[in-house]
Structure 1
Amino acid sequence: MLQDKFGRRFHYLRLSITDVCNFSCEYCLPDGYQCDTDRDFLSLIEIKRIASAFAKLGTSKIRITGGEPSLRKDLPEAIRACANTPGIKQVAITTNGYKLPDHIDSWVEAGLTQMNVSIDSLDPRMFASITGHDKLDVILRGIDRAIELGVTVKVNAVLMRHFNQHELSSFLQWIKTTSITLRFIELMQTGDNQLFFNKNHASGLPIKEQLISEGWQQIIRDKTAGPAQEFSHPDFKGRIGLIMPYSKDFCASCNRLRISALGKLHLCLFSEQGLDIREYITDDDTQRLQEELTTLLGDKKSTHFLHDGYTGATKHLAMLGG
């Protein structure tokens, strides 16, 4: 079992397969994707080797991320490679959903069990303003189809003071009859969004206080669950999650590691640098890869240091899919 010196166990791998994204979200890529790598992204065989090595070290959940992972035509094969790995029980994806109705059936057939979709506003005009794309209706239709197919769906909304902070009532009305988990994520500072962060960061604590006052009950997290504090209410089909990275002890429950699309291990979303493990992946030596992962995990820090304004090597969230 992968375990660090603080006793945290790592059941969950976030595996990026591309850093390319076709959206230009205000908080991530406001000027669109700028190619600054050689784009030598992980191959299918490398994805299989990574999944196998992590599974043998106790990882049971893999989330495929980007950039936007569906920009890779072989995404169904990547999902299948992870789903067919002994020990992997859950295969998830994080997507902007820009062609979700066209893709979701093939993803589920390949073995997808969970999906996170980014929707920062339920107002079509605001959605288009934030993302640069008028795709809200398409994404909502894709979510409905995913629910029909039995996929566990979570919707991510980044809290932004001047964009969507007033939309809580609209989101609550949606999940009254829709069986998703809606997760509000506090805007995080990255290497290239400091001014935007300063203008738009909003705490999730007022939302938490409102939920509790209105009878929402906090749910105990599963060992493979992410960092969200989740709440349920008997009058709502959906749930609410809050991801508050600036809250006390946020990192104490960390259970995930990240591998970039270029084959670098990131011990934290905001670590100082990615650790190159690609030689162990390309050599097809699972034992050596497992040993290297175990050794490198010894350098994982107790916290992300975001409170000190430290963002590490993360210039924008598309680098690692959040």
Structure 2
Amino acid sequence: MLQDSFNRKFNYLRLSVTEVCNFKCNYCLPDGYKCETRPTTLALAQTHTLLRAFAMVGTKKVRLTGGEPTLRKELPDIVALCNDTPGIESVALTSNGYRLAQKLPRLVDAGLTALNLSADSLSPYTFSQITGNNSLDEVLRCIDLAFELGLKKVKLNAVLLKQYNGTQLTQFLNFIKDKPVTFRFIELMRTLDNAAYFNAQHVSGQSIRTTLEKSGWQMQPKGPDAGPAVEFCHPDYAGQVGLIMPYSKDFCASCNRLRVSADGKLHLCLFGDANDDLTPWLDDGDVTGLATYLSNRVLTKWQGHQLHLGKSGLTRHLAMLGG
């Protein structure tokens, strides 16, 4: 398994399949996705090589991200490649849920095992304010459909925003009273293009955690392939709550994931200052060579990000790598 010099083990790959997005979330792409040239994405053969190399060095979970991954027409084929790669045990998708219902059955048939949907507010008006889209009902309908199709892991993501959803915790919790889903609250992160927005909207996840603990929510132990979320359960609720707090102390100590962009760049950290072009190995179909490279390269991964210093590395906006 991949292991860095701080003894962290990496069994989780976040693979972006496109940086294109069809929402205009005000914390990410307030003016919508813009690109002067046609975006580059890995071909299926390149993706196959990538997955086999990562599996060779211990990757067990792959999450497909964007941009909005459902805009990639080959998405079912990519899910199938993940599912058919020996060693990959979990294939997850993060989506904004727009027009996903018509595509979800085929994705599940291809091997999808987990689904994360974005629901930054449960108020249709506020949801539209944040995302620039009026599809909240459509997004929420995907939850029931996912369970009908047999998915066991369904999560909702909400980025905490002071002006928009900062006072809606009760509404979020009421939603999971009788639904076995995890609602995850994510601290807004500073990127290269959102400094003013960040300063105006950032909400500390610690305030949510304090409220939860005072209300009887109990922190849960992490699974072996879990991400950085701290998860809580309550005996009176069918669902759970997750908190992703990148500005908290020792947030990076449990890091277990690496990221690859849609054009085949390895990012050791979401907010790192460098990326590595993996296409020479991918073009050659060199699984063993890429696996060896990954094993050596991960040893250079630094102990943590520098978000607390206002440094966001190469990350212009979160659509680049899907968080």
Matching of residue 61 in structure 1 with residue 95 in structure 2: no
Counterpart in the other structure of 2:181 = 180
Matching of residue 260 in structure 1 with residue 261 in structure 2: yes
Aligned with 2:167: secondary structure?
A: helix
Counterpart in the other structure of 1:126 = 126
Aligned with 1:189: secondary structure?
A: coil
Runs of 4 or more, structure 1, over 4 Å off, are none
With 99-108 and 23-32 compared, the bigger mean Cα shift is at: 99-108
Question: Is the 8 Å Cα contact of residues 15 and 64 (structure 1) preserved in structure 2?
Answer: yes
Aligned with 1:166: secondary structure?
A: coil
What is the one-letter code of the residue matched to 1:292?
Y
CA distance, structure 2, for counterparts of residue 104 and residue 12 of structure 1: 23
Counterpart in the other structure of 2:26 = 26
Counterpart in the other structure of 2:293 = 292
Counterpart in the other structure of 2:227 = 226
Report sequence identity in percent: 53
CA distance, structure 2, for counterparts of residue 273 and residue 192 of structure 1: 18
What is the one-letter code of the residue matched to 1:100?
L
1:126 Cα deviation after fit: 0.7
Deviations 1:64-108 (A, max 9, x none): 111001001111110000011000000001100001211111111
Question: Is the 8 Å Cα contact of residues 181 and 238 (structure 1) preserved in structure 2?
Answer: yes
Aligned with 1:102: secondary structure?
A: coil
CA distance, structure 1, for counterparts of residue 95 and residue 37 of structure 2: 21
Question: Is the 8 Å Cα contact of residues 231 and 239 (structure 1) preserved in structure 2?
Answer: yes
With 111-120 and 147-156 compared, the bigger mean Cα shift is at: 147-156
Counterpart in the other structure of 2:77 = 77
Question: Is the 8 Å Cα contact of residues 261 and 267 (structure 2) preserved in structure 1?
Answer: yes
Counterpart in the other structure of 1:5 = 5
CA distance, structure 2, for counterparts of residue 318 and residue 229 of structure 1: 23
Matching of residue 196 in structure 1 with residue 201 in structure 2: no
What is the one-letter code of the residue matched to 1:106?
R
CA distance, structure 2, for counterparts of residue 221 and residue 45 of structure 1: 34
Question: Is the 8 Å Cα contact of residues 100 and 143 (structure 1) preserved in structure 2?
Answer: no
Counterpart in the other structure of 1:170 = 171
Aligned with 1:188: secondary structure?
A: coil
What is the one-letter code of the residue matched to 2:130?
I
Aligned with 2:154: secondary structure?
A: strand
CA distance, structure 1, for counterparts of residue 124 and residue 67 of structure 2: 22
Aligned with 1:295: secondary structure?
A: helix
CA distance, structure 2, for counterparts of residue 297 and residue 171 of structure 1: 38
CA distance, structure 2, for counterparts of residue 247 and residue 256 of structure 1: 18
CA distance, structure 2, for counterparts of residue 309 and residue 145 of structure 1: 41
What is the one-letter code of the residue matched to 1:95?
S
Query: Where do 5+ consecutive residues of structure 1 fail to align?
Result: none
Counterpart in the other structure of 1:114 = 114
CA distance, structure 1, for counterparts of residue 275 and residue 26 of structure 2: 25
Counterpart in the other structure of 1:154 = 155
Q: CA 1:269–1:36 in 2, change beyond 3 Å: closer, same or farther? A: farther
1:150 Cα deviation after fit: 2.5
Aligned with 1:241: secondary structure?
A: strand
1:258 Cα deviation after fit: 0.2
1:295 Cα deviation after fit: 1.8
Deviations 1:252-302 (A, max 9, x none): 000000000010000000010211111111110111111111121122110
What is the one-letter code of the residue matched to 1:125?
Y
1:36 Cα deviation after fit: 5.1
With 299-308 and 30-39 compared, the bigger mean Cα shift is at: 30-39
1:236 Cα deviation after fit: 0.5
1:214 Cα deviation after fit: 1.1
Counterpart in the other structure of 1:137 = 137
What is the one-letter code of the residue matched to 2:67?
G
1:37 Cα deviation after fit: 5.6
What is the one-letter code of the residue matched to 2:295?
T
CA distance, structure 1, for counterparts of residue 89 and residue 36 of structure 2: 34
Matches within 5 A, 1:26-45: 26-35=26-35, 38-45=38-45
CA distance, structure 2, for counterparts of residue 175 and residue 300 of structure 1: 37
Question: Is the 8 Å Cα contact of residues 63 and 93 (structure 1) preserved in structure 2?
Answer: yes
Aligned with 2:185: secondary structure?
A: strand
Q: CA 1:319–1:37 in 2, change beyond 3 Å: closer, same or farther? A: farther
TM-score (norm 2): 0.98
CA distance, structure 2, for counterparts of residue 37 and residue 163 of structure 1: 34
Deviations 1:123-173 (A, max 9, x none): 001101111110000011111100222221111100000010011000000
Question: Is the 8 Å Cα contact of residues 70 and 100 (structure 2) preserved in structure 1?
Answer: no
Question: Is the 8 Å Cα contact of residues 121 and 165 (structure 2) preserved in structure 1?
Answer: yes
What is the one-letter code of the residue matched to 1:249?
D
Query: Where do 5+ consecutive residues of structure 2 fail to align?
Result: none
